[in-house]
Structure 1
Amino acid sequence: MKFKKVMGTLFPVVDSDRRKDMVVKQILGTPQENKGAINIHRHDPNNVGDFYCAPYRYFEVLKNNVLDINGIRKIGKQERQDWAKTVSENSLIIGGGGLLNLRHFELQMKLFEQLKRLGKKTVLWGPGHNDTDTGKFGKRVSYNVDLKNFGLVGVRDYSYKQHWVPCVSCLHPIFDQPFTETQEIGILFGKKSSQNEVLQKRLESYPTSNNTTNLEEMVAFIGTSQTIVTDSYHAMYWGMLLGKKILAVPTTTKFYDFKYPAYITSYDAFEADLLKAPSYSGVLEECREINHTFAEKVFDYLNL
């Protein structure tokens, strides 16, 4: 038995899986209510895409009604109990971000999947699959939850066309700003690749940024670039909203399932692929219209 599991048996607070299991049991043993609506997503201020992909940011009726999906594994017992209480008392809007088919969030998503039958109103708003298995890259991915077990469904993956609702971050007014292109190529690293010193050194001759800065800086970098090379989903998406040419370096399945495909490459091969990078027009307007239409359905369903 692994040391972590041994210690978790003796001291459950040490094992995050044990902590999460205790919270799940608490919630499933509690009567479910729909007093208000809470938006659950990965509320990570150190990842710009994750931080801005939540519906509560764009609708006054949801303002500040947010819960971090990782709260289920907090060390503090009271913090976990508060998280469970918030989930049990409110209708849930789950998303956006890559919450599906990722082990880190699997237990939470399986929990949310069970709540509809207990009387909970549940909405999926813009989550998507995020499987790291390279064998699934470019293939249709089956979700690790059953969409029928949620009250209302909108996912960012276009292979589920009847439920397609692209990331709600398109509603941010920053995408209405004009930008002047000052650089031919911009490389925008994801969180992990931004910490890869060897990669950073190899590409230091190019203008670079990453998704751990802030929204204004990240979008301005995209806006002033003609072509974006990135392993960040939201850099890819926001580049498309701004009509940029996009080359994507995939790290999970999420890069293969947007309506408008980026050209798939790698940080070793992108220079030879620059002329293959596609760009699209009208994406911003389309994504906004779909989200506004879906919002009306959500607010009607939740009686907001």
Structure 2
Amino acid sequence: MARIVFKHHRQTTNLGDAVCSPYDYYPELACAGAAVDLERETPPCEAVIYGGGKIMGGLAKTFGPHDRAAKARIAWGVSTVQKFPISLRYWRAFKAMTLIGTRDWGDTRFLFAPCVTCVSPAFDMHTEERHEVALYLHHWRSKKVSLPRPEGVPVMENNNPDFAATIRHLAAARVVVTNSYHGTYWALLLGKKVLCLPFSNKFGNFRITPGYGTAEDWPRQLSRARSSDEMLDLCRMATAGFRARVEALIGL
């Protein structure tokens, strides 16, 4: 029996969702368990770690007998922002958890636990800035709006499965324009000036606030882009603190 089972959207074309599990960053935790896609049945275990990502709304319906039998159910780096003020689906998931770490800064109901990708050594690599602006786009959301793609501006979409190449793409620009949650997050971690083009309320709770613009007019809104040199350290400290809570809870 695995001691810990890690569950998130592992089988997805969305890079941010695919790489946001603690399983992939902490060998000491990974060696005590196994990683399973969120849609698969949870095998027998002592603890289940869910996340990260925006999974809480549908999480309760994926619970099986081994989820309920586990001694601890932990949400790590999940979005706790709801579309509506009252959500029965979210309430059920929250109630089932033993410990919740939210990626949404300001949600004081829970501990702050940003997306665990911040611990990746990719953010410590030096990449020369070669572009004034780069686009990082949500691969299907961008097709629903009139979003300019000026000639000469490098573009990458979030269905590219190469995490290291994605971070290099972001790091090579002075300003990152993005309508991807993780694109915004990663660019802030890199200390880039960021112009976020939000399409839902999930973009409103970063530890450091980016600049905000609109998809149709972003070339005229670049002066709104914002950066911070503190984001990486703040997120890594919060992640270390939450990891300590998890290890104490499950006895590691």
TM-score when scaled to structure 2?
A: 0.86
> Residue in 1 aligned with 2:103?
156
Give the gaps of 5 or more residues in structure 2.
none
> Residue in 2 aligned with 1:98?
54
The structure 2 residue matched to 1:50, chosen from 8, 17, 20, is 17
Greater shift in the superposed pair: 294-303 or 62-71: 62-71
Deviation at 1:216, TM superposition (A): 1.6
> Residue in 2 aligned with 1:65?
34
Task: Provide the C-alpha distance between the structure 2 equivalents of 1:211 and 1:120, rounded to a whole number of angstroms.
Answer: 36
1:39 equivalent to 2:13? Answer no
Can you list the C-alpha shifts for 1:267-298, whole angstroms capped at 9, x where unaligned? 21212211111111121111111111211211
> Residue in 2 aligned with 1:181?
129
Task: Provide the C-alpha distance between the structure 1 equivalents of 2:202 and 2:66, rounded to a whole number of angstroms.
Answer: 26
Check conservation: 1:230, 1:247, Cα contact below 8 A.
yes
Moved over 4 A (4+): 110-119, 140-143, 197-200
Q: CA separation of 1:203/1:197 partners in 2, compared to 1, >3 Å: closer, same or farther?
A: farther
1:203 equivalent to 2:149? Answer yes
Can you list the C-alpha shifts for 1:24-64, whole angstroms capped at 9, x where unaligned? xxxxxxxxxx8510111111352221121110011112327
Task: Provide the C-alpha distance between the structure 1 equivalents of 2:150 and 2:187, rounded to a whole number of angstroms.
Answer: 21
Can you list the C-alpha shifts for 1:82-140, whole angstroms capped at 9, x where unaligned? x24x1x43410011011133xxxx1x335549988755311110010476x5xx6xxx7
Number of aligned positions between the proteins: 245
Deviation at 1:199, TM superposition (A): 4.9
Higher helix share: 1
> Residue in 2 aligned with 1:271?
219
Check conservation: 1:175, 1:242, Cα contact below 8 A.
yes
Q: Map residues 1-304 of structure 1 onto 2, 5 A cutoff.
A: 36-44=3-11, 46-63=13-30, 65-71=34-40, 83-84=41-42, 86=43, 88-101=44-57, 106=58, 108-110=59-61, 112=63, 118=69, 120-129=71-80, 144-145=90-91, 147-161=94-108, 162-193=110-141, 196=143, 199=146, 202-205=148-151, 206-213=153-160, 214-304=162-252
Task: Provide the C-alpha distance between the structure 1 equivalents of 2:184 and 2:177, rounded to a whole number of angstroms.
Answer: 8
Higher strand share: 2
Give the gaps of 5 or more residues in structure 1.
1-33, 72-82
Q: Which amino acid aligns with 2:75?
A: L
Task: Provide the C-alpha distance between the structure 2 equivalents of 1:149 and 1:293, rounded to a whole number of angstroms.
Answer: 22
Q: Which amino acid aligns with 1:55?
A: P
Task: Provide the C-alpha distance between the structure 1 equivalents of 2:145 and 2:97, rounded to a whole number of angstroms.
Answer: 44
Which structure: larger Rg?
Answer: 1
Task: Provide the C-alpha distance between the structure 1 equivalents of 2:208 and 2:86, rounded to a whole number of angstroms.
Answer: 17
Task: Provide the C-alpha distance between the structure 1 equivalents of 2:238 and 2:145, rounded to a whole number of angstroms.
Answer: 41
Please tell me the root mean square deviation across aligned C-alpha atoms, in Å.
Answer: 2.7
